[in-house]
Amino acid sequence: MNSVQQTQRPTSAELDAVDPLAEQREAFYTPDAGQLAAYLDGNSLGRPLKATSAKLASFVQDAWGSRLIRGWDEQWMDEPTRVGDRIGAVTLGAAAGQVTVGDSTSVMLYKLIRAAVDAQPGRDEIVVDRDNFPTDRFIIEGIAAEKGATIKWVASNPASGVRTTDLEGLLSERTAVVVLSHVAYRSGFLADAEAITTLVKDAGALMLWDLCHSVGSVPLELDAWGVDLAVGCTYKYLNGGPGSPAFAYVNAAQQDRLQQPIWGWMGADNPFGMTESYKPAEGIRRFITGTPPVLAMQPLKDMVELIASVGMDAVREKSIKLTEYAVALAEDMLVPLGAEIVSPRNTAERGSHITVDHPLFGEVTQKLWERGVIPDFRPPHGLRIGLSPLSTSYAEVELGMIAIRDALAELL
């Protein structure tokens, strides 16, 4: 980029000054100076809200400590679906009664994919892409082994992601379920969920989206798109904290015909009836297994309300501007040092992170972490720069990019 173009680009200070979401950054906890210079990994683990400490303390004292076992009757039995409904309304485009919170993403994936295969007799193929997140692929390998099903691998361009054309020739009357990530964990590619869902359903298969990298950063319209199933984590852009529980979305039209495979008492129709055998609950509750992780659900509730207060469209607008800025800086500072941007250039096809490849980025990441600049590294060479729309400033992106450039230059 020449100097004329460089002077035309606003500075990070100018961008921060006109950012309509700038004041939201105040809502997040900031560690003591020296510990953190730039956090570029909210796509792995979101930062806590300042409100979270007080929220947890109050839960311990007022709810757990004071109500004790009565809390289950008074509040907690419905917490998975109450929190699920709120996630659904604010971030998923889902009407009430279709989302529940609990388990890990991996376990939720197992429950829903296995239920989908079981519900499609005569269909013995599961479609998934080779570049999907390992846990999605591993869970599917396990289910295929258990059920004698065949995996049909989508071979898409790893620097982008799965498009409708990549599914040609893979969908047939044998396809039971298709499992894809809405935003690819490596490239950040944002799939056309509506078009792909339509294609998959036209083939008589069920569509499951992994929303880990899109929930809370990209607007979703699961009901309007006709999505059957979705799973997502809450520790990235929903800032639920390390290991906070996942959510599962099961379209109301599918709930009665799906039977999830881990039959526990909390998903039974009368948990405290101590009945002789399992009968699934009506509706979304049948996708619950054991005692819900109520304590671990508390922090994400404030983040969902923060998102509700600004709206998902504003979140997406900031996310696009942040990734555009990061791409421009990477072009100026990192590409001349031999790095390659391996994320889509088209903003309509990009989620809230970008990945830049260089053979030395493993070593660079170590140096950066020591300096309080925190992106993450995904083998073989990818430095992922995650931009959380509500907590990341443009100044942080610039500072981070300069630090990456300097650390790389030191090693060259």
What distance in Å separates the CA atoms of residue 122 and residue 261, rounded to the nearest whole number? 19
Contacting ligand PLP within 66-105 (CB under 6 A): 104-105
Radius of gyration of the chain (CA): 22
Q: Which stretch binds ligand PLP (CB under 6 A): 15-23, 78-86, 207-215, 368-376?
A: 207-215
Q: How near is the Cβ of 178 to ligand PLP at its closest, in Å? A: 15
Q: Of the candidates 36, 118, 135, 347, which one interacts with ligand PLP according to CB under 6 A?
A: 135
Position 181 contacts ligand PLP (CB under 6 A): yes
C-alpha dist (Å) from residue 380 to 29, 360, 384: 32, 10, 12
Q: Which of 47, 86, 111, 384 is catalytic?
A: 384
Say whether residue 136 binds ligand PLP (CB under 6 A): yes
d(CA 355, CA 380) in angstroms, rounded, equals: 12
- Which is catalytic among the residues 86, 236, 286, 405? 236
Q: Does residue 291 touch ligand PLP according to CB under 6 A?
A: no
Smallest Cα–Cα separation from 307: which of 239, 354, 225, 241? 239
Q: Which of 136, 357 has the CB closer to ligand PLP?
A: 136
Write down the least CB distance from residue 160 to ligand PLP, Å.
Answer: 16
What are the φ/ψ torsions at residue 39 (nearest 5 degrees)? -100, 115
How far apart, in whole angstroms, are the C-alpha atoms of residue 91 and residue 229? 15
Please select the residue that binds ligand PLP; options are 58, 106, 254, 291, rule is CB under 6 A.
106
Output the smallest distance, CB 351 to ligand PLP, in A. 11
Q: What is the DSSP string of 14-65?
A: HHHHT-TTGGGGGGB--PPTTT-SEE-BTTTSPPPBTHHHHHHHHIIIIIII
> Which one, 181 or 255, has the nearer CB to ligand PLP?
181
**110 interacts with ligand PLP by CB under 6 A:** no
Catalytic residue, candidates 39, 185, 189, 235: 235
Is the Cβ of residue 27 or residue 115 nearer to ligand PLP in the bound state?
115
Dist. CA 168–CA 322, nearest whole Å:
34
The answer to whether the beta carbons of residues 261 and 115 sit under 8 Å apart is yes
Here the tokens at position 122 are: 């005569």
Tell me which residues touch ligand PLP (CB under 6 A). 104-106, 133, 135-136, 181, 185, 210, 212-213, 233, 246
Residues designated catalytic = 133, 210, 235-236, 384
